[in-house]
Each structure stands twice: as C-alpha cells, then as structure tokens.
Structure 1
Amino acid sequence: MRSVVYAQTGGPEVLQLTEEAVPEPGPGELRVRVVRSGVNPTDWKSRVGREPGTPVDPSQIPGQDGAGVVEAVGAGVPASWVGLDVWLFEAAWKRRWGTTSEQTLVRQTRVATLPDGASYDVGAALGIPFITAHRCLTVAEEGPLRLGPGTLQGRTVLVSGGAGAVGNAAIQLGRWSDATIIATVSSAEKAQLAAAAGADHVVDYRRQDVRDEVRKIAPHGVDVVVEVNPQANAGLDGGLLAPGAVVATYADDGGGAEVAVPVRTSMVRNVRWQFVLVYTLPAAAKARAVDDLGAALLDGAIGVGERHGLPLHHFPLDRAAEAHAAVERGAVGKVLITP
C-alpha cells in the first residue's frame, strides 16, 4: 500500500510517499481502506514538532480524521463492521497509523458508521472540528450536554472566526439546535460562508464595531462564545456575556502563551472560561459528541462544500505536502486528501 510518512519533524517537505505492507488489525482494531483523509491544523503542528529536525522513529503517518470502508477487524471487534462505510477521528493520536494512507489501522473507539447518503467528504471533515465545536456548545454549567433540535433554543451563541473549520461546525450545530448564531469574520467573502453555514447575523470585525453590533442583536448578552483567538478577544468577550455565560476557547490564534481574563466582570456575572482540547476530552463527552454528529448526519443538518459554508480543496496522496502547506497558510475551507 502507499502511505505518506515523516521520519523527522519539519516543514511539508519532510512528508514522503512510501510503499509498505498492508497491516493486519490487532485486538480492538479495524483496518480501513481510506477514501478521504481530512487535514487539520494539528496535523501540521504535530509534523513540525517542538524542534524541527527531530527524528521520528518509527516514521509517522499523519492524519487524525478520515472516511472509508472497513476491510478487516481484529480480535474482539464484531465481524459485522466489515464492509461498512465509516468516519475516523483521532486516528493518529499517540499512534503511528494516521489517515494519509491507502489503508490504516484504527481503534474501534475511534470509528463511527457513516449513514447512507453521507459522503466520504463530509465523513473526513467531521472528526476534530465537529467534536471540538460540540464540546464548545455543551460546556455551560446548566447544559445542555447534548445537541439537537430545540436544545439551544432561546440562547445566543457568538462564534469567533465563523469561516474557520471549527467555527463553521459550531454554526451548523448551533443552527441545528435552534440557537441564535452571531458570527464574526474578517472579509465579505467569509461573511458569505458564515451565512451559508447558517449564521443568523454576521459581523465583519475589520469594518464594524463588534461590541456595538452584538449588543444591538443581544442587548442582554450572549450565552456562549466559541473563541479562536482569546488573546485578542478576551476583553471584548467579557463585555458581551450574559449572566452564567461561557467562553469556550479551542485555539490560540493570537499566538500568545497567556490570556488576560476580565476578573471582576466575569465574577459578577458568574461566567465560565472553558478551555477545550479534543484529544483530552472526557470520554463521555466525546461519546456524546459522536452520537449527536450521527444524528445530525441522519437529519441532513450538517454538510460540507460551498452551500454549507465550507469550500473543499482536494489533493491526491502524492501531493500531501501541498495539502499540509495549504492548511498551514490558512486555507479557507476544508482540505482533503484522496489516497
């Protein structure tokens, strides 16, 4: 089989296309023929590592997310899995076997069935972004723990970076759950994408005063903030929160190691500042997210492509380095690799 691997950390150039034996699944594992591999920022950040040039032994196949067909199962996994369309998440977390390969091995706990009618494109786009967004929307003290029609009715969600992968996922899931969605973006093009995803209101922070615009829409404050850049936005967020609100931060696009939280405002309003990393989520939260994403797929409530506000960029396996570089440059939409 063909796989893309890296044997040392560094830039996209360390990715090499190789031939290796098709692996046999061990206990609790499935072998999946990968039809699509999704590329996330964590993929290139892991590839770069803390110090470029560090040897990686054994060589690593990158790619946390993907979609494909189960070919074989190991001991303890029901044979009924064989032949099913599935989507994968966290395939390469503390493992060699990522999704940038014609076949890969994945733990049963990191596989979910792909409903009839759901494309491999959407399956490969779910994983890290959608589970992250689900967590951001379900960490408020009073819940809900699950998403679905009506679960966020009467609540206002502010999505920072509404054209990004997690931002898009938060908008789609929030819309499905009947929240009022306000998204911030940096251009007219991204505003169109956020609106296509289902945002009720879109604010261009380069041209509009976010504080004034949000207060017009939600005079009593927002209930949830899905935050991509806390270093830049913590002060702004603090002034827009309703009592009991939560700021769920899943990234540090500002690039700083620390963030200044407005203490007095947060204290008076009993606000929660929640940090989110999908890989270390509680198992129960992750399981709820996977179940809810399956329900959303069955409802036809989430999707990919221009009409869902998430343009697709396809690359063949031998151009995996270009796919990584595109994500590293901040490509708008979802980058997918086709083994």
Structure 2
Amino acid sequence: MKAIQYTRFGPASDVLTLAEMPTPDPAPGEVLVELTFSGVNPSDVKARSGARPGVTKPPFDQIIPHSDGAGRVVAVGDGVPETRMGQRVWIWNGQWQRPFGTAGTHICLPADQAVQLPEPISLETGAILGIPGLTAAHAVFGGGDIAGQTLLIQGGAGTVGLLAVQLAKWGGAKVIATARGKGLAAAENAGADVVLNYSDPDLAQHILAANDGAPVFRIIEVEFGRNVGTDAEVIAPNGTIAAYGSAQDMAPTLPFGPLLFKAATIDILLIYLLPPDQRAVAIKHLHDALLAGALTCPIARTFPLAETAAAHEAVEAGARSGAILVEVQA
C-alpha cells in the first residue's frame, strides 16, 4: 500500500513523505478498507505540527495521519460477517489513539468504525462525516429535539458550521448564524434564517433583535473563549452552549455571574470521545438528513495523495469554502 507518513513534528512540506508499506491484514473484529478519499481536518494538521499543548514528540514512531475517510471493505477479520465485504463505508477515529490513519490506500480498524454509507451518498461526502459531520450533528441534536427552538450557530460558514446550519433547519429550528465576508452568503445559502457579522461590536443586541427580543435556546460555538461574553448575553435560561472549538483563546475568563443567573450549561464537545449510544444517534441524524436531501457537504478542494502536504497547508491557511480531501488512489 501507499501512504503518507511522518516521524517527527514540523511543517507539512518538511515532515510528510510518501511511503510504500505492507498492506495490513485485519485482526479479529477488524475490517480492511480500500480507501478512496481521506478527509483533512484542523486537528490533523495540529497533531502533525506538534501544536497540541504539552505534546513534545509524536506518540508513535511512525504515523499515517487523518481520522476521516471513505472507501470499500475488501477483507474482514475473524468474527466480522462476510456480508460486510464490498460495502461502501465511511471512517471515524481512523487515527485517534492509533498510529495509522486514512492518508493511505488502505486502513485496518475495528469494524464498527467503518460505517456503511447509504446509497446514493458519494464517497466524497462520506469522507467528511467523521469529524465535521458528527460534530455538527451532536452539537445540534445532543440536547434533544430542537423543533420550534432558536439556535445560534457561531461560525456558520466553516465546514462544521455549514453542516450545523443545514441540520438545524432540517430539525425544525429557527437558525441565526454568524459569519464574515463571503461566509455571510454561504451561511445564508445553507439555510440560515438570519446571518450576522460576528465582528459587529453590537452583535449580542442584533442576535436578540433577530429573535424578536427573546434569548436563544442553544448555541453552537466554534470560538468559545472569544465569544462566551456574547453567548452569556443571549443564551436563554437553562439554555446550552455546545462548544466544539476555542482556538483563539484556549484559557478563557468566564462571565460566571451572567452564566449563573441563566443556569446555562456549557457542553464541551470532543467528538473522538463520544459515547457509543450518542454516536449512534448522531450517525442516524446524518444519514437521515442526507437521504432526505437536506444536507450537502461542501468540498473546497481535492488533492492527490502525493500532495498531502499541500492539503495540510490549505487547511492551515483557513478561509475555506468547504472541506479539504485527499484522493488517496490518485
């Protein structure tokens, strides 16, 4: 098999190399997936660059990066039904706490981490469902039914944000999204009822005005540290801030008083650690929305395997209009 690998932290162009490796055999309970696409996420590039706090060297001697991907099952280990052979699947947690992820032509992993992809959903879409898709689905529906409620989606033009906007509308919520520049139109096109500029100094007042003066039921938050002050102003009593990111301020100061007197719940999401029952619910929401035609997964650009470093650089550059994929068989 061919794979992109690294053995040390550093810039993508310095440490990512194309290698020939033996194609693995599935262990008991595993499947071997011949991959077509690998999804590149911010967490992948941070892991490769050594940007995670307190981590000074890679956790394994050799790492094939990326947690998301899609392809077909081509072999099964003992205990896995033969009926899984040939299934189109998408991958979650491909490289989470494991050395070998999806940036290669093949991957072996536990059978439940290769989810059958419904027809006629494309493999490109499947490669986006692991981190962005599950994050969006759990952030939107993790507190239960949202029909008739108002959701605020901070960062509604990012990959997770655009998926969250669509899922929230499909779930019957009123959606207020924040974005900037070209992202304003992207969030509106995704179905948001109101889109506001997140750099507006009067953002909280505009959010409340967009909801007829009422506070919002649930907030999907991409930059918790930067936005928690605004969130505290606009969250409804007993509402929830579902935060999946805080890259610009990893050690925020909380406005405890306003949050206290709203009895607000801060729900910090790390999709890698989602319990099996909650993951199953999120997967069902994704599949149902896709089959209903209510969810489109935007793709900004696809790179061939040999140009995975450029794919990492595209993620690091930001300001994308969708996901970055690697076509691993190319």
TM superposition score category, shorter chain reference: over 0.9
User: What's 1:335 paired with?
Assistant: 324
2:203 to 196, 204, 210: 210
Cα contact 2:226–2:246 (8 A) shared by 1: no
1:305-324 to 2 correspondences below 5 Å? 310-324=298-312
Q: Say yes or no: does 1:3 pair with 2:6.
A: no
1:92-111 to 2 correspondences below 5 Å? 92-111=95-114
1:161 positional shift: 0.7
Q: Give the Cα separation in 2 of the matches to 1:261 and 1:185.
A: 23
Q: Which amino acid in the other structure matches residue 18 of structure 1?
A: A
2:155 to 161, 182, 185: 161
Answer with 164-173 or 208-217: which moved more.
Answer: 208-217
User: What's 1:121 paired with?
Assistant: 124
2:255 to 262, 281, 298: 262
Cα contact 1:185–1:202 (8 A) shared by 2: yes
1:100-157: per-residue Cα shift (whole Å, max 9, x none)? 10111121121111111111111101111121122222343xxx1xxxxxx3211111
Q: Say yes or no: does 1:302 pair with 2:316.
A: no
Q: Give the Cα separation in 2 of the matches to 1:84 and 1:208.
A: 51
TM-score (norm 1): 0.91
1:208 positional shift: 7.0
1:180-199 to 2 correspondences below 5 Å? 180-187=174-181, 189-199=182-192
After superposition, the Cα gap between the structure-2 partners of 1:82 and 1:59, relative to the gap in structure 1 and judged at 3 Å, is same
Q: Which amino acid in the other structure matches residue 83 of structure 2?
A: S
CA RMSD in angstroms, aligned pairs only: 1.7
TM-score (norm 2): 0.93
Cα contact 1:8–1:56 (8 A) shared by 2: no
1:212 positional shift: 2.2
1:282 positional shift: 2.0
1:73-88 to 2 correspondences below 5 Å? 73-88=76-91
After superposition, the Cα gap between the structure-2 partners of 1:31 and 1:331, relative to the gap in structure 1 and judged at 3 Å, is farther
Aligned residues: 323
Q: Give the Cα separation in 2 of the matches to 1:57 and 1:251.
A: 26
Q: Which amino acid in the other structure matches residue 280 of structure 2?
A: A
After superposition, the Cα gap between the structure-2 partners of 1:325 and 1:183, relative to the gap in structure 1 and judged at 3 Å, is same
1:58 positional shift: 3.4
Q: Which amino acid in the other structure matches residue 317 of structure 2?
A: R
Q: Which runs of 5+ in 1 are unaligned?
A: 145-150, 305-309
Q: Which amino acid in the other structure matches residue 156 of structure 2?
A: G
Answer with 262-271 or 47-56: which moved more.
Answer: 47-56
1:240 to 234, 244, 258: 234
User: What's 2:28 paired with?
Assistant: 27
Q: Give the Cα separation in 2 of the matches to 1:90 and 1:103.
A: 15
Q: Give the Cα separation in 2 of the matches to 1:191 and 1:257.
A: 26
Cα contact 1:6–1:56 (8 A) shared by 2: no
1:195-245: per-residue Cα shift (whole Å, max 9, x none)? 122211100123573222211121111111111112211111101011111
Q: Say yes or no: does 1:287 pair with 2:280.
A: yes
Q: Give the Cα separation in 2 of the matches to 1:139 and 1:57.
A: 33
User: What's 2:214 paired with?
Assistant: 220
Cα contact 1:238–1:265 (8 A) shared by 2: yes
Question: Secondary structure in 2 aligned to 1:59?
Answer: coil
Q: Say yes or no: does 1:273 pair with 2:261.
A: no
Q: Which amino acid in the other structure matches residue 316 of structure 2?
A: E
Q: Give the Cα separation in 2 of the matches to 1:3 and 1:202.
A: 41
Q: Give the Cα separation in 2 of the matches to 1:234 and 1:224.
A: 13
After superposition, the Cα gap between the structure-2 partners of 1:24 and 1:154, relative to the gap in structure 1 and judged at 3 Å, is same
1:163-178 to 2 correspondences below 5 Å? 163-178=157-172
User: What's 1:42 paired with?
Assistant: 43
Q: Give the Cα separation in 2 of the matches to 1:88 and 1:232.
A: 32
